[in-house]
Amino acid sequence: MLRLGPLAAAGRLLPAGPRFGPPRPSGGRVSLSRSRPPGPVGDRGLLARQVRAAAGSAGGGRSPVLKTPKGTRDHPPAHAALRDRLLAAVVTCFKRHGAAAIDTPVLELRETLMGKYGEDTKLIYELQDQGGELLALRYDLTVPFARYLAMNKITNMKRYHVAKVYRRDNPATTRGRYREFYQCDFDIAGQFDPMIPDAECLKIVHEILSDLQLGDFIIKVNDRRILNGVFAVCGIPENKFITTCSTVDKLDKMPWEEVRSEMVGEKGLSPEAVDHIGEYVQLHGGLDLIEQLLQDPKLSQNKLAKEGLGDMKLLFEYLTLFGITGKISFDLSLARGLDYYTGVIFEAVLLQPENDHVEEPVSVGSVAGGGRYDGLVGMFDPKGRKVPCVGVSIGIERIFSILEQRVEASEEKIRTTETQVLVASAQKKLLEERLKLISELWNAGIKAEVLYKKNPKLLNQLQYCEDTGIPLVAIVGEQELKDGVVKLRVVATREEVNVRRESLVEEIRMRTSRP
């Protein structure tokens, strides 16, 4: 039995196989609005010929290529419905922790984004000069948030933001990596006592991954100060800390031998120093490892490392109170390559996704990440005033790729609409009565549909309910009109009851509010 968890239940999975024959395509089609071009009606033919001529000349007479750009994709109704419910589950968690929503432009000034992402700066989509402004598409939601805080002189805020970001990366669609994708961020800005906000961010990651039932997972934690301390005691020059950190960050994708080769060959570090780094960055554990490193003869003498280890110990104490240390690993290989991190960093990875119905494991890598960035707001403030921040980003695309494959393998389909009832008729010449009834239902807030035919066959109306998952049918007929009732049919069981017209709204609400 494939377990899809509470999210799938919220998505209202429908059993495969209709009651009235093979399924038809969903009736929830999307129509494109047709706008009339300016000018007289007769100009439309001329405009069409001009468009065809331009397309022909651009493509050498061939038809235009119909495809989405590399690293992007369309989402049909079933995917969009699943995504909406996934996003809703994440946002529900954010709201449970007291966050308020904000939104920022998809465009930022190029100078706002440059110099904040280390080696990943090359992945920013830069735009041509737009009338004197040099712009770029946002790379993440963290830097725009820091700009927002500085611009509005905000020093204390708990916010969430769900929006698309853009990266000129090599897409790997099977792993949920795209050039256009959603991020779901939760951040706490303000001066607070150490590690309390950081612990809450980790608790949020734990809650979301547990609620979605994606399989076993681990949340790796580290601290940039500890890493920088390691680099210092290993003899790495301070001006090479960031570039060394970017290379260590590749340990989740490359074996140590390849990372070592890059450090020596490309970054110009001495083999002795790199081997010394390797002794540290391959360690992982819990409180015992923290205590061990606090006694390390070299690290204990480094101020940054000592501060980081002290805060890491405090963080584990709070995580113990939250009851989640079983899913937390202190991992010195975790680096997170972005320049703006200054303290605690963390990343959640799936260990063994449930794939009972999938022949090959679903490989999706990291599904959440974040950390502390105490200096980022100060980069934008004219006076350099800092606002300490910590936050987490949920990798919604990678999680969606797991759920998508799981639903496809289960041979079940997800409802793409929320319609509660179809208004139908069993006889001809009752269109007016159907329209009167559906108007009453709409006015009462009931989600209802009617087929766009004057005299539809009852079988076709029932089949439409099967295809789209509508649970109830309100049938009007000549006898029902005389008696002042509506025949309410439960599609799943074929049960039929006569309901007084004035009681219909309440009956529909009662029957569709049941779990």
Q: Write out 386-411 in H/E/C secondary structure.
A: CCCEEEEEECHHHHHHHHHHHHHHHC
Are 446 and 419 contacting, i.e. CB atoms less than 8 angstroms apart? no
Could you give the angle at the alpha carbon of 515 between the alpha carbons of 217 and 410, nearest 5°?
50
Q: Which amino acid is at 481?
A: L
Query: Does 142 count as an annotated binding residue?
Result: yes
- Gap between the Cα atoms of 214 and 361, Å rounded: 13
Query: Does 140 count as an annotated binding residue?
Result: yes
- Looking at the DSSP bridge assignments, the partners of residue 350 are 217
Are 221 and 195 contacting, i.e. CB atoms less than 8 angstroms apart? no
Query: Does 512 count as an annotated binding residue?
Result: no
Question: Exposure string (b/e) for 120-152, b if CB count within 10 Å is 16 or more?
Answer: beeebbeeeeeeeeebbbbbbbbbbbbbbbbee
Query: Does 223 count as an annotated binding residue?
Result: no
- Which residue stretches of 26-158 are H helix? 43-58, 77-96, 110-113, 142-151
Query: Does 182 count as an annotated binding residue?
Result: no
Query: Does 167 count as an annotated binding residue?
Result: yes
Host H or E run for residue 254: none
Q: Write out 337-354 in H/E/C secondary structure.
A: CCCCCCCEEEEEEEEEEC
Query: Does 117 count as an annotated binding residue?
Result: no
Could you give the angle at the alpha carbon of 389 between the alpha carbons of 245 and 151, nearest 5°?
110
Could you give the angle at the alpha carbon of 281 between the alpha carbons of 275 and 286, nearest 5°?
145
- Gap between the Cα atoms of 28 and 18, Å rounded: 17
Are 168 and 124 contacting, i.e. CB atoms less than 8 angstroms apart? yes
Q: Write out 109-132 in H/E/C secondary structure.
A: EHHHHCCCCHHHHHHCCECCCECC
- Gap between the Cα atoms of 255 and 282, Å rounded: 11
Q: Which residues are CB-contacts of 486 (< 8 A; sequence separation ≥ 6)?
A: 437, 474, 475, 476, 480, 498, 499, 501, 504
Query: Does 356 count as an annotated binding residue?
Result: no
- Gap between the Cα atoms of 283 and 294, Å rounded: 14
Q: Which amino acid is at 96?
A: R
Are 436 and 42 contacting, i.e. CB atoms less than 8 angstroms apart? no
Number of residues that this document lists for the chain: 515
Query: Does 141 count as an annotated binding residue?
Result: yes
- Sequence ranges of the binding site: 140-142, 167, 183, 187, 336, 340-341
- Sequence ranges of the binding site for L-histidine: 140-142, 167, 183, 187, 336, 340-341
